Amino acid sequence: MKITFLGTGTSTGIPLIGSNHPVCLSQNTKDKRLRSSVKIDFDNYTYIIDCGPDFRQQMINCNCNKIDGILFTHEHADHTAGLDDIRPFCFRHGALPIYGHKRVLDNLSNRFSYIFKKDNKYPGAPTIIPNYIDPNSHLNLNKFNVVPISYLHADLQVYGYRFENFAYLTDLKTIEDNEIKKLKNLDVLVLNTIRIEPHFSHLNLEEALDLIKIIKPKKTYLTHISHMLGFHDDVEKKLPKNVHLSYDGLIIEVN
């Protein structure tokens, strides 16, 4: 299984528009972050987790010409606003399956009504196959077992996803013990870490490291990063040896 980090930034991305913060002015490419998303490749299948406003550029950056589905974590714009840009995939390969909590897909059907429309649909609109995810069951993607992980982003329910021994959790603030149990024996965990100071709806660095100690994955990559976390290279040096900052374009292999 190959994981490509399409974007690793928080909702504003880095650099933040109009900011003179030193991280926003950094010339290090690892400090330039599109909105958070990953591409997962296995057995000639390709799935995306979240398609935010940078989705089109991310697909161009990784030279992706086919996807088999999109899994949504939640409905916030930095994770969903690129939905219209699936059009080229639909033109070439037909209707695209999308997956998410019923609340999330209902939200998208209101915001992108022309995509979900069944009658008298505009010919240039994308075609999708909505799939509601039951939090109490596993998801079968081409015979690949995916476990939804439910947690809270402030008071909003969000899904993370476990693909075999890899898990992707973003926009997490609090998680129940029964969901943590679903994350045991991971080889790789991807976990949101927005900044040093506490945040009302995201883990800060201290909270993320504390949760990592509980889950005990072999290796962790931090994502959904804001400029307030600091320079990539400086933060990386201070992390435990099995914890790393992700960056846009990073590719890892998970056996």
Task: Indicate which CATH number applies to the domain containing 141.
Answer: 3.60.15.10
Q: How far apart are CA 214 and CA 149, in angstroms?
A: 16
pLDDT per position as a tens digit, 203-253: 999 999 999 999 999 999 999 999 999 999 999 999 999 999 999 999 999
Q: In terms of residue numbers, what domain contains 144?
A: 2-253
Q: How far is CA 150 from CA 52, 175, 208, in A?
A: 20, 7, 17
What total number of domains does the chain contain? 1
pLDDT tens column, 100-155: 999 999 999 999 999 999 888 999 999 999 999 998 889 999 988 999 999 999 99
The pLDDT value recorded for residue 210 is 98
Kindly report whether the global pTM for this prediction surpasses the value 0.75.
yes
- 18-57 pLDDT per residue, tens: 999 999 999 999 999 999 999 999 999 999 999 999 999 9
Residue 120's pLDDT is what?
87
Cα distances from 149 to residues 146, 172, 178, 179, in angstroms, run 10, 11, 10, 6
- Using alpha carbons, list the distances in angstroms from residue 174 to 16, 90, 208: 26, 36, 11
Residue 251 has a CB neighbour count (10 Å cut-off) of: 11
End-to-end C-alpha distance for the chain, whole angstroms: 6
What's the rounded Cα separation, in Å, for the pair 195 and 86? 31
Task: Return the bridge partners of 150, or none.
Answer: 159
